[in-house]
Amino acid sequence: MVVLAALVAAGVSALVVNLMRRDVLQPVARGPLPQVGQANGPQAAAQRAADSVVRIQTMSSPTPSPAPPPASLAGGTGSIVDSRGYILTADSVVSGAAGLTVAIPGRKSQPARVIGSDPEYGLTLLKVDAGNLKALQVFGGTTLETGSGVAVMAAAPWFQMAVGAVATAHSTTTTDDPANPGSSRVLNDVAALDVAPRDGQLGAPILDGAGRLIGVVIAAGPQVYGADMADAQPSVQQLIDSGHVSHPWLGFNYRQLGAPEAADRGVPAGVEVVAVPAGSAAARAGVASGDIVVSANGTNLDPTHPLSRLLRGMAVGQSVSLSVKTPSTRKSVSVTVALLSP
Last residue of a domain, one of 244, 264, 282: 244
pLDDT at 61: 54
Residue 125, beta-bridge partner list = 88, 116
User: pTM of this prediction?
Assistant: 0.82
261 in the same domain as 222: no
303 in the same domain as 194: no
207 in the same domain as 268: no
pLDDT in tens, 41-56: 777 888 889 899 999 9
pLDDT at 262: 85
Distance CA 194, CA 47 (A): 22
Q: Contact 54/102 with Cβ under 8 angstroms? A: yes
288 in the same domain as 227: no
pLDDT at 41: 73
pLDDT at 74: 58
pLDDT in tens, 151-191: 999 987 766 789 999 999 988 998 888 777 778 889 998 99
Q: How many structural domains is the chain composed of?
A: 2
Q: Three-class SS of residue 261?
A: helix
Identify the CATH number of the domain in which residue 261 sits.
2.30.42.10
Distance CA 340, CA 342 (A): 6
pLDDT at 72: 41
303 in the same domain as 236: no
80 in the same domain as 1: yes
pLDDT at 330: 94
280 in the same domain as 156: no
pLDDT at 279: 94
155 in the same domain as 95: yes
pLDDT at 197: 87
255 in the same domain as 210: no
140 in the same domain as 236: yes
229 in the same domain as 269: no
Last residue of a domain, one of 195, 229, 244: 244
Q: In the chain, which residues have pLDDT < 70?
A: 1-40, 61-74, 140-141, 158-159
pLDDT at 100: 94
259 in the same domain as 224: no
Identify the CATH number of the domain in which residue 180 sits.
2.40.10.120
For residue 326, count CB atoms less than 10 angstroms from its CB and return exposed for 0-12, middle for 13-18, buried for 19 or more. middle
Beta-carbon count within 10 A of 161 CB: 27
Q: In which domain, by residue range, is 330 found?
A: 247-340
Last residue of a domain, one of 244, 270, 297: 244
- Terminal Cα-to-Cα distance of the chain (whole angstroms): 39
pLDDT at 337: 96
